[in-house]
Amino acid sequence: MVRKGRTWRKRYSTKERLFKNLALDNDIISLSIWMQSRGFRNKSLVPAVFQNTGRGIMARKRITDIIIQVPEGLIITTRTILKSGLGPFFRKKARQFSSLEALCLFLIYERSLGDESIWHFYIRTLPEEYSIPTYWTEEELDILPKSLRSKVNTEVKQVQRLYERCLRLGGNLSTFLRADLTWNDFKWAWSAINTRCIYMKTYSGDYFLDDTNHLALIPYLDLLNHSDSAMIEAGFNKDKNCYEIKTLKTYNKYDQVFISYGSHANAKLLLEYGFVIPSIQFDAVEFDFNFIKGMFDIDDELFERLTREGFNELVPVIKRIS
Protein backbone atom coordinates (compact mmCIF):
# COMPACT_ATOMS: atom_id res chain seq x y z
CA MET A 1 0.00 0.00 0.00
CA VAL A 2 1.33 3.45 -0.88
CA ARG A 3 1.94 5.68 2.14
CA LYS A 4 0.50 9.14 1.79
CA GLY A 5 2.21 12.12 3.36
CA ARG A 6 1.88 15.85 3.65
CA THR A 7 1.10 16.30 -0.04
CA TRP A 8 -2.09 14.23 0.30
CA ARG A 9 -4.63 17.02 0.66
CA LYS A 10 -8.37 17.38 0.41
CA ARG A 11 -9.43 20.59 2.09
CA TYR A 12 -12.98 21.56 2.89
CA SER A 13 -14.75 23.53 5.61
CA THR A 14 -15.75 21.49 8.65
CA LYS A 15 -16.61 22.16 12.26
CA GLU A 16 -16.02 18.57 13.26
CA ARG A 17 -12.74 17.48 14.78
CA LEU A 18 -12.15 14.29 12.83
CA PHE A 19 -8.87 12.46 13.11
CA LYS A 20 -7.28 9.07 13.42
CA ASN A 21 -4.47 8.78 15.94
CA LEU A 22 -1.25 7.64 14.26
CA ALA A 23 0.65 7.12 17.50
CA LEU A 24 0.21 3.36 17.20
CA ASP A 25 1.52 3.24 13.62
CA ASN A 26 4.59 0.97 13.70
CA ASP A 27 6.77 3.29 11.62
CA ILE A 28 5.81 6.31 13.76
CA ILE A 29 6.48 4.36 16.97
CA SER A 30 9.92 3.31 15.69
CA LEU A 31 10.73 6.87 14.60
CA SER A 32 9.66 8.33 17.95
CA ILE A 33 11.66 5.80 20.00
CA TRP A 34 14.75 6.31 17.83
CA MET A 35 14.51 10.11 18.07
CA GLN A 36 13.99 9.97 21.84
CA SER A 37 17.13 7.85 22.15
CA ARG A 38 18.96 10.74 20.44
CA GLY A 39 17.67 13.51 22.69
CA PHE A 40 14.28 14.42 21.17
CA ARG A 41 11.68 15.32 23.78
CA ASN A 42 8.00 15.54 22.88
CA LYS A 43 5.06 15.77 25.26
CA SER A 44 2.86 18.14 23.26
CA LEU A 45 2.38 16.51 19.84
CA VAL A 46 1.12 13.29 18.32
CA PRO A 47 0.84 12.34 14.62
CA ALA A 48 -2.70 11.86 13.32
CA VAL A 49 -4.64 11.54 10.08
CA PHE A 50 -7.16 14.36 9.70
CA GLN A 51 -10.12 14.04 7.38
CA ASN A 52 -9.60 17.51 5.91
CA THR A 53 -5.81 17.50 5.43
CA GLY A 54 -4.52 13.93 5.66
CA ARG A 55 -1.48 13.12 7.80
CA GLY A 56 -0.50 15.85 10.23
CA ILE A 57 0.25 16.69 13.86
CA MET A 58 -2.28 16.98 16.70
CA ALA A 59 -1.88 18.82 20.01
CA ARG A 60 -1.91 16.49 23.02
CA LYS A 61 -2.37 19.48 25.31
CA ARG A 62 -2.79 23.25 25.11
CA ILE A 63 0.16 24.85 23.29
CA THR A 64 0.89 28.57 23.69
CA ASP A 65 4.60 28.85 22.93
CA ILE A 66 7.01 26.14 21.75
CA ILE A 67 5.58 23.67 19.24
CA ILE A 68 8.67 21.55 18.70
CA GLN A 69 12.42 21.45 19.34
CA VAL A 70 14.61 19.02 17.39
CA PRO A 71 18.27 18.52 18.41
CA GLU A 72 20.97 19.28 15.84
CA GLY A 73 22.01 15.64 15.73
CA LEU A 74 18.63 14.74 14.20
CA ILE A 75 18.80 17.33 11.43
CA ILE A 76 19.98 16.25 7.98
CA THR A 77 22.22 18.87 6.38
CA THR A 78 25.25 18.84 4.09
CA ARG A 79 27.38 18.35 7.22
CA THR A 80 25.43 15.14 7.86
CA ILE A 81 26.19 14.03 4.32
CA LEU A 82 29.93 14.57 4.74
CA LYS A 83 29.89 12.35 7.85
CA SER A 84 27.97 9.59 6.05
CA GLY A 85 29.14 6.80 3.78
CA LEU A 86 28.81 9.26 0.88
CA GLY A 87 31.29 11.64 2.52
CA PRO A 88 34.35 10.33 0.60
CA PHE A 89 32.45 10.64 -2.68
CA PHE A 90 31.57 14.31 -2.15
CA ARG A 91 35.03 15.17 -0.81
CA LYS A 92 36.51 13.75 -4.00
CA LYS A 93 33.93 15.68 -6.05
CA ALA A 94 34.40 18.92 -4.10
CA ARG A 95 32.36 21.91 -5.37
CA GLN A 96 30.75 19.94 -8.18
CA PHE A 97 27.36 19.31 -6.55
CA SER A 98 24.81 21.70 -5.07
CA SER A 99 23.35 21.10 -1.62
CA LEU A 100 20.04 20.07 -3.22
CA GLU A 101 21.73 17.49 -5.46
CA ALA A 102 23.75 16.20 -2.52
CA LEU A 103 20.64 15.79 -0.37
CA CYS A 104 18.89 13.91 -3.19
CA LEU A 105 21.79 11.49 -3.55
CA PHE A 106 22.04 11.13 0.23
CA LEU A 107 18.39 10.09 0.57
CA ILE A 108 18.78 7.58 -2.28
CA TYR A 109 21.97 6.23 -0.71
CA GLU A 110 20.47 5.87 2.77
CA ARG A 111 17.34 4.21 1.39
CA SER A 112 19.52 1.73 -0.51
CA LEU A 113 21.10 0.68 2.81
CA GLY A 114 17.74 -0.42 4.20
CA ASP A 115 17.87 -1.22 7.91
CA GLU A 116 21.65 -0.66 7.88
CA SER A 117 21.05 3.09 7.58
CA ILE A 118 20.91 5.00 10.86
CA TRP A 119 18.20 7.12 9.18
CA HIS A 120 16.01 4.20 8.13
CA PHE A 121 13.45 4.94 10.88
CA TYR A 122 12.93 8.34 9.27
CA ILE A 123 13.06 7.18 5.64
CA ARG A 124 10.37 4.57 6.30
CA THR A 125 7.95 7.37 7.22
CA LEU A 126 8.47 9.20 3.92
CA PRO A 127 5.76 8.80 1.27
CA GLU A 128 6.56 6.48 -1.61
CA GLU A 129 5.08 8.93 -4.11
CA TYR A 130 3.91 12.54 -4.15
CA SER A 131 1.13 14.66 -5.61
CA ILE A 132 3.43 17.30 -7.13
CA PRO A 133 4.15 17.79 -10.87
CA THR A 134 6.96 15.23 -11.07
CA TYR A 135 4.34 12.54 -10.46
CA TRP A 136 1.48 13.92 -12.56
CA THR A 137 0.21 12.07 -15.61
CA GLU A 138 -0.29 13.68 -19.03
CA GLU A 139 -4.05 13.57 -18.46
CA GLU A 140 -3.65 15.51 -15.22
CA LEU A 141 -1.32 18.02 -16.83
CA ASP A 142 -3.81 18.65 -19.64
CA ILE A 143 -6.33 19.95 -17.10
CA LEU A 144 -4.07 22.81 -16.02
CA PRO A 145 -4.44 26.39 -17.28
CA LYS A 146 -1.88 27.33 -19.92
CA SER A 147 0.21 29.56 -17.64
CA LEU A 148 0.42 26.94 -14.88
CA ARG A 149 1.11 24.15 -17.37
CA SER A 150 4.08 26.16 -18.62
CA LYS A 151 5.45 26.49 -15.07
CA VAL A 152 4.95 22.80 -14.43
CA ASN A 153 6.81 21.87 -17.61
CA THR A 154 9.65 24.19 -16.64
CA GLU A 155 9.94 22.68 -13.16
CA VAL A 156 9.87 19.08 -14.37
CA LYS A 157 12.55 19.87 -16.96
CA GLN A 158 14.70 21.46 -14.24
CA VAL A 159 14.44 18.30 -12.13
CA GLN A 160 15.31 16.17 -15.16
CA ARG A 161 18.36 18.35 -15.81
CA LEU A 162 19.48 17.88 -12.19
CA TYR A 163 19.13 14.13 -12.63
CA GLU A 164 21.13 14.15 -15.87
CA ARG A 165 23.79 16.34 -14.25
CA CYS A 166 24.15 13.90 -11.34
CA LEU A 167 24.48 11.04 -13.82
CA ARG A 168 27.15 12.93 -15.73
CA LEU A 169 29.15 13.90 -12.63
CA GLY A 170 28.47 10.72 -10.68
CA GLY A 171 31.32 8.58 -11.96
CA ASN A 172 31.48 5.63 -9.52
CA LEU A 173 28.30 6.74 -7.72
CA SER A 174 26.60 3.40 -8.44
CA THR A 175 29.22 1.75 -6.23
CA PHE A 176 27.91 3.71 -3.25
CA LEU A 177 24.24 3.37 -4.22
CA ARG A 178 24.60 -0.38 -4.81
CA ALA A 179 22.75 0.14 -8.10
CA ASP A 180 22.50 2.57 -11.00
CA LEU A 181 20.95 5.95 -10.29
CA THR A 182 17.44 5.84 -11.80
CA TRP A 183 15.00 8.61 -12.67
CA ASN A 184 12.38 7.12 -10.33
CA ASP A 185 14.80 7.17 -7.40
CA PHE A 186 15.90 10.73 -8.12
CA LYS A 187 12.32 11.90 -8.65
CA TRP A 188 11.34 10.43 -5.28
CA ALA A 189 14.26 12.02 -3.43
CA TRP A 190 13.81 15.44 -5.05
CA SER A 191 10.08 15.38 -4.29
CA ALA A 192 10.69 14.44 -0.66
CA ILE A 193 13.11 17.34 -0.23
CA ASN A 194 11.04 19.86 -2.18
CA THR A 195 7.90 19.20 -0.13
CA ARG A 196 9.41 18.96 3.34
CA CYS A 197 12.78 20.75 3.61
CA ILE A 198 13.45 23.80 5.75
CA TYR A 199 16.14 26.45 5.29
CA MET A 200 18.90 26.44 7.86
CA LYS A 201 22.26 28.04 7.20
CA THR A 202 25.00 25.44 7.53
CA TYR A 203 28.72 25.69 6.86
CA SER A 204 30.15 22.60 5.17
CA GLY A 205 33.55 23.83 4.14
CA ASP A 206 34.15 24.15 0.41
CA TYR A 207 32.73 20.80 -0.59
CA PHE A 208 29.48 22.01 -2.17
CA LEU A 209 28.54 24.74 -4.61
CA ASP A 210 27.77 28.06 -2.95
CA ASP A 211 24.17 28.16 -4.16
CA THR A 212 22.73 29.83 -0.99
CA ASN A 213 20.26 26.93 -0.72
CA HIS A 214 20.87 25.98 2.89
CA LEU A 215 18.46 23.06 2.89
CA ALA A 216 17.79 20.67 5.76
CA LEU A 217 15.44 17.80 6.52
CA ILE A 218 14.07 17.39 10.04
CA PRO A 219 12.31 14.16 11.04
CA TYR A 220 8.93 14.46 12.80
CA LEU A 221 8.88 18.24 12.30
CA ASP A 222 8.14 17.66 8.63
CA LEU A 223 4.80 16.07 9.57
CA LEU A 224 3.48 19.57 10.37
CA ASN A 225 1.11 20.83 7.68
CA HIS A 226 0.72 24.31 6.23
CA SER A 227 -1.99 26.82 7.02
CA ASP A 228 -2.10 30.37 5.71
CA SER A 229 -3.43 31.45 9.12
CA ALA A 230 -0.57 29.91 11.12
CA MET A 231 1.59 32.40 13.02
CA ILE A 232 5.02 31.08 13.94
CA GLU A 233 8.63 31.92 14.61
CA ALA A 234 11.18 29.34 13.49
CA GLY A 235 14.93 28.99 13.45
CA PHE A 236 17.98 27.34 14.96
CA ASN A 237 18.36 28.05 18.67
CA LYS A 238 22.11 28.20 19.25
CA ASP A 239 21.73 28.26 23.03
CA LYS A 240 19.74 25.01 23.07
CA ASN A 241 21.44 23.56 19.98
CA CYS A 242 18.16 22.69 18.30
CA TYR A 243 15.80 23.80 15.55
CA GLU A 244 12.81 25.38 17.23
CA ILE A 245 9.32 26.43 16.17
CA LYS A 246 7.18 28.70 18.35
CA THR A 247 3.53 29.52 17.80
CA LEU A 248 2.16 33.03 18.19
CA LYS A 249 -1.39 31.71 18.55
CA THR A 250 -2.87 29.14 20.91
CA TYR A 251 -3.63 25.52 20.01
CA ASN A 252 -6.01 23.60 22.23
CA LYS A 253 -5.93 19.87 22.94
CA TYR A 254 -6.92 17.83 19.85
CA ASP A 255 -6.37 20.78 17.47
CA GLN A 256 -4.28 20.16 14.40
CA VAL A 257 -1.05 22.14 14.77
CA PHE A 258 0.05 24.04 11.69
CA ILE A 259 3.08 25.93 10.46
CA SER A 260 3.32 28.34 7.54
CA TYR A 261 5.29 27.77 4.34
CA GLY A 262 4.81 31.46 3.51
CA SER A 263 2.07 33.64 2.01
CA HIS A 264 1.72 31.61 -1.16
CA ALA A 265 -1.09 31.61 -3.70
CA ASN A 266 -2.79 28.35 -4.59
CA ALA A 267 -0.84 28.04 -7.86
CA LYS A 268 2.41 28.06 -5.88
CA LEU A 269 1.10 25.59 -3.30
CA LEU A 270 -0.06 23.22 -6.03
CA LEU A 271 3.21 23.47 -7.94
CA GLU A 272 5.53 23.08 -4.95
CA TYR A 273 3.54 21.02 -2.46
CA GLY A 274 0.71 19.34 -4.38
CA PHE A 275 -2.36 20.82 -2.67
CA VAL A 276 -4.64 23.86 -2.75
CA ILE A 277 -6.70 25.63 -0.09
CA PRO A 278 -10.22 26.63 -1.23
CA SER A 279 -10.66 29.39 1.36
CA ILE A 280 -7.11 30.71 1.14
CA GLN A 281 -6.39 34.17 2.56
CA PHE A 282 -3.96 35.11 -0.17
CA ASP A 283 -4.50 34.19 -3.79
CA ALA A 284 -3.51 35.52 -7.19
CA VAL A 285 -4.90 35.38 -10.70
CA GLU A 286 -2.23 35.44 -13.38
CA PHE A 287 -2.61 37.03 -16.79
CA ASP A 288 -0.58 36.48 -19.91
CA PHE A 289 1.34 39.61 -20.93
CA ASN A 290 -0.29 39.60 -24.36
CA PHE A 291 -3.68 39.68 -22.63
CA ILE A 292 -2.59 42.79 -20.72
CA LYS A 293 -1.38 44.35 -23.98
CA GLY A 294 -4.80 43.95 -25.53
CA MET A 295 -6.71 45.02 -22.44
CA PHE A 296 -4.87 48.33 -22.12
CA ASP A 297 -4.44 48.86 -25.85
CA ILE A 298 -0.65 49.09 -25.63
CA ASP A 299 0.76 50.08 -29.00
CA ASP A 300 3.40 47.96 -30.71
CA GLU A 301 6.23 50.44 -30.09
CA LEU A 302 5.65 50.51 -26.32
CA PHE A 303 5.14 46.74 -26.28
CA GLU A 304 8.51 46.17 -28.00
CA ARG A 305 10.19 48.54 -25.57
CA LEU A 306 8.68 46.75 -22.57
CA THR A 307 9.75 43.45 -24.07
CA ARG A 308 13.34 44.67 -24.50
CA GLU A 309 13.36 45.75 -20.85
CA GLY A 310 12.16 42.32 -19.78
CA PHE A 311 8.74 43.37 -18.52
CA ASN A 312 7.11 40.65 -20.59
CA GLU A 313 8.70 38.15 -18.19
CA LEU A 314 6.79 39.64 -15.27
CA VAL A 315 3.30 38.21 -15.14
CA PRO A 316 0.90 40.73 -13.56
CA VAL A 317 -1.29 39.42 -10.77
CA ILE A 318 -4.43 40.49 -8.99
CA LYS A 319 -4.30 39.54 -5.33
CA ARG A 320 -7.33 38.83 -3.20
CA ILE A 321 -7.10 39.26 0.54
CA SER A 322 -10.14 37.99 2.38
126 and 14 within one domain: no
Helix (H, G, I), strand (E, B) or coil at 242: strand
Decide which of 194, 216, 238 is a domain's last residue. 216
Within 10 A of 287 (CB to CB), how many other CB atoms are there? 13
206 and 108 within one domain: yes
Pick left, alpha or beta for residue 46 (phi over 0 → left; psi -120 to 50 → alpha; otherwise beta). Answer: beta
212 and 81 within one domain: yes
309 and 186 within one domain: no
Within 10 A of 36 (CB to CB), how many other CB atoms are there? 11
pLDDT in tens, 168-199: 998 888 888 888 999 999 999 999 999 999 99
Q: CATH number of the domain at 198, please.
A: 3.90.1410.10
81 and 209 within one domain: yes
The one-letter amino acid at 37: S
CA distance 172 to 89: 9
CA distance 23 to 120: 18
CA distance 213 to 101: 11
Quote the pTM value: 0.83
Decide which of 171, 194, 216 is a domain's last residue. 216
CA distance 176 to 12: 45
Beta bridge partner(s), residue 319: 284
Asked if 119 and 181 touch (Cβ cutoff 8 Å), the reply is: no
- Print pLDDT tens along the chain (322 aa): 445 555 444 443 333 445 566 655 889 989 999 999 999 999 999 999 888 888 899 999 999 999 999 999 999 999 999 999 999 999 999 999 999 999 999 999 999 999 999 999 999 999 999 999 999 999 999 988 887 888 899 999 999 999 999 999 988 888 888 889 999 999 999 999 999 999 998 877 789 987 666 899 999 999 999 998 999 999 999 999 999 999 999 999 999 999 998 878 888 888 899 888 877 776 666 666 666 666 667 677 777 776 776 665 544 444 444 4
Q: CATH number of the domain at 23, please.
A: 2.170.270.10
186 and 259 within one domain: no
Roughly what angle, to the nearest 10 degrees, separates helices 99-113 and 146-170? 70
164 and 60 within one domain: no
Owning domain of residue 68: 1-75+218-280
102 and 64 within one domain: no
270 and 257 within one domain: yes
H-helix or E-strand containing 56? strand 54-59
Domain count, the chain: 3
Reported for 168-173, long-range contacts at CB under 8 A and 24+ positions apart, including other chains, are 169/93, 169/96, 169/97, 171/93, 172/89, 173/89, 173/105
- How far is Cα of residue 172 from the mean position of the Cα atoms in its chain? 29
H-helix or E-strand containing 189? helix 183-196
254 and 301 within one domain: no
Decide which of 192, 216, 240 is a domain's last residue. 216
**Nearest alpha carbon to residue 194 among 266, 107, 119, 280:** 107
198 and 150 within one domain: yes
The one-letter amino acid at 297: D
99 and 60 within one domain: no
Contacts of 145 (CB under 8 A, 6+ apart): none
**What does the pLDDT read at residue 260?**
92
- Side-chain half-sphere of 245: how many Cα atoms within 13 Å? 25
